Amino acid sequence: MPELEMASKSHNIATEDEMVKLGQVMAASLSKPCVMTLSGDLGTGKSVLARAIIRALGHEGAVKSPTYTLVETYTTTGWRIAHLDLYRLNDPEELHYLAFDDIVANCDLIIVEWPDRADGLLPKINLAVTIDYLEQGRLVNIVS
């Protein structure tokens, strides 16, 4: 039987501050290139986590929500990052209008909120993060 390469880790994240700390820890252990998906209902903290990772990788300015632009890119010392929010993608084919192939070819890290909207058009996913509401805080599951 082939060796299982998938690992799954769960984290109880009580506060937004803890989510930021998780992002910092994740950022420190990323290897290039990386495609990371962030799944979970509205308000679970996908953007909080994405922002923490982007800032931990050296971006000092604002991290704008790509809700309407669908994609925002950042260049820091050592990292070319694309942050996508596909919530408003009507059709996976619209990814072509975003020059998505160029983004994939030119970025070291691609963070994708609402990856299901891409309907399988994403490249190989290296880190799949799912966030669920808990009565208190959030449950973050990371499959790598």
Ligand X SMILES: Nc1ncnc2c1ncn2[C@@H]1O[C@H](COP(=O)(O)OP(=O)(O)O)[C@@H](O)[C@H]1O
Residues that bind ligand X (CB under 6 A): 13-16, 19, 40, 42-48, 113, 137-138
Binding segment for Mg ion (CB under 5 A), chosen from 1-9, 91-99, 111-119, 125-133, is 111-119
Closest to ligand X by CB, 45 vs 115, is 45
Handedness of CA 103, 106, 112, 117 (dihedral sign): positive
Closest to 51 in 3D by CA, of 81, 95, 89, 9: 81
By a kind-dependent CB cut-off of 5 to 8 A, residue 59 interacts, out of Mg ion, ligand X, none, with none
Report the candidate in 23, 19, 79, 96 with the shortest Cα–Cα distance to residue 53.
Answer: 23
- Among ligand X, Mg ion, none, partner that 52 touches (CB below 5 to 8 angstroms by kind): none
User: Do 24 and 48 contact (CB within 8 A), yes or no?
Assistant: no
143: Cα separation from own chain's centroid? 12
Q: Which is nearer to Mg ion, 49 or 95 (CB)?
A: 49
Residues that bind Mg ion (CB under 5 A): 46-47, 113
